[in-house]
């Protein structure tokens, strides 16, 4: 039994922890191609693992992950022409988030952190939160954080991970950051020997519809994952977990001594 997973708790255990002020974490992933070396569930798996690590730090609860995300775009996830990428309409994702936020509010949750693990989800998750918050009303006391987990990687760490210079988050799909994090959390799901050797994708600054699939490497990898290591994954994850833990404690005014209890 995993002591932070909501789906492993009885409703009575959950209720008790919610009443005590626990933060609820909702991982928002996707089912999306991640090259020949990473599994389709990468985005949901990483977001869940990170949420669990942070939840352990702050006495939080991790709700079941959103496993289907918004449509993959060529420049950030390869695009919708790949087999296996299983995406939902923007309105579907926003509705799902809206409904979940509304339900957590009904439970008495007042501290909710939605952790996005799939770049394309960000705006439809935002809309879902906005829709729920308008319904809930301004004076409910409920507060929601939305964070893309990779944003907590520090410059120092990125400099260490990319000794030749960090090429920017744009091409990091199925590349060094995600592969290293997966090596840290789920080494058995990574096939290092299948990492493609081709160089980074070259994209213009705009998008075309229908997608110009010729722009995207046929492997689905946007830049090389060759230099990924479990150690790099450990460093990156450490940043993310520490940064998110600090942010959660700060924004939700948790007393660090008491784990999950309100600080007042």
State the nearest-atom distance from the C-beta of 258 to a copy of itself, in Å: 22
37, 43, 52, 105: the active-site residue = 43
Burial of residue 58 (CB within 10 Å: 0-12, 13-18, 19+) is buried
Q: What is the CA radius of gyration of the chain?
A: 19
173 is catalytic: yes
**Which of the residues 52, 53, 57, 118 is marked catalytic?**
118
Strands 61-62, 111-116: pairing is: unpaired
Q: Is 103 a catalytic residue?
A: no
Is 178 considered catalytic here? yes
- As measured in angstroms, the least distance from the Cβ of 166 to a copy of itself is 14
At closest approach, how far in Å is the CB of 204 from a copy of itself? 6
Q: Which residues contact 11 (CB under 8 A, 6 or more apart)?
A: none
Report the nearest approach of a copy of itself to the CB of residue 235 (Å). 17
CB-based contacts of 133, cutoff 8 Å, min separation 6: 101, 142, 144
Compute the distance between CA of residue 67 and CA of residue 60 in angstroms, rounded to an integer: 20
Active site residue 57: no
Quote the least distance from Cβ 162 to a copy of itself, whole Å: 18
Whichever of 38 and 257 has its CB closer to a copy of itself, that residue is 38
Q: Answer yes or no: 43 catalytic.
A: yes
Count CB atoms within 10 A of the CB of residue 207: 14
Catalytic residue, from 37, 105, 149, 173: name it: 173
CA atoms within 13 A on the CB side of 124: 24
Q: Are 104 and 112 in contact (CB under 8 A)?
A: yes
Query: d(Cα 18, Cα 60) in Å, to the nearest integer?
Result: 9
- Distance (Å, whole) CA 97 – CA 84: 23
138: annotated active-site residue: no
81 is catalytic: no
Q: Which residue(s) pair with 31 in the sheet? A: 86
- Beta pairing partners, 168: none
Q: Choose between 7 and 159: whose C-beta lies nearer to a copy of itself.
A: 7
When the beta carbons of 207 and 227 are compared against a copy of itself, the nearer one is: 207
Residues marked as catalytic: 32, 34, 43, 118, 120, 173, 178
């Amino acid at each position: 039994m995993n002591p932070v997973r909501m789906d492993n708790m009885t409703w009575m255990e959950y209720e008790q922890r919610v009443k005590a002020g626990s933060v609820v974490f909702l991982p928002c992933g996707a089912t999306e191609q991640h090259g020949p070396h990473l599994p389709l569930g990468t985005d949901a798996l990483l977001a869940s693992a990170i949420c669990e690590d942070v939840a352990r730090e702050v006495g939080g609860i991790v709700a079941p992950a959103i496993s289907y995300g918004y449509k993959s775009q060529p420049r950030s996830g390869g695009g919708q022409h790949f087999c296996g990428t299983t995406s939902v309409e923007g309105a579907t994702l926003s509705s799902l988030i809206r409904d979940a936020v509304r339900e957590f509010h009904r439970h008495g949750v007042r501290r909710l952190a939605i952790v996005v693990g799939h770049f394309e989800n960000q705006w439809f998750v935002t809309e879902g939160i906005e829709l729920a918050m308008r319904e809930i009303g301004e004076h409910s006391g409920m507060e929601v954080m939305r964070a893309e987990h990779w944003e907590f990687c520090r410059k120092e760490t990125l400099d260490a991970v990319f000794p030749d210079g960090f090429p920017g988050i744009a091409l990091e799909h199925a590349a060094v950051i995600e592969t290293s994090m997966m090596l840290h959390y789920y080494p058995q799901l990574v096939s290092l020997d299948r990492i493609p050797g081709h160089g980074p994708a070259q994209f213009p600054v705009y998008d075309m519809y229908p997608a110009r699939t010729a722009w995207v490497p046929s492997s689905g990898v946007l830049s090389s994952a060759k230099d990924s290591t479990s150690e790099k994954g450990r460093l990156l994850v450490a940043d993310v977990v520490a940064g998110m833990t600090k942010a959660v404690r700060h924004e939700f005014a948790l007393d660090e001594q008491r784990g999950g209890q309100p600080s007042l």
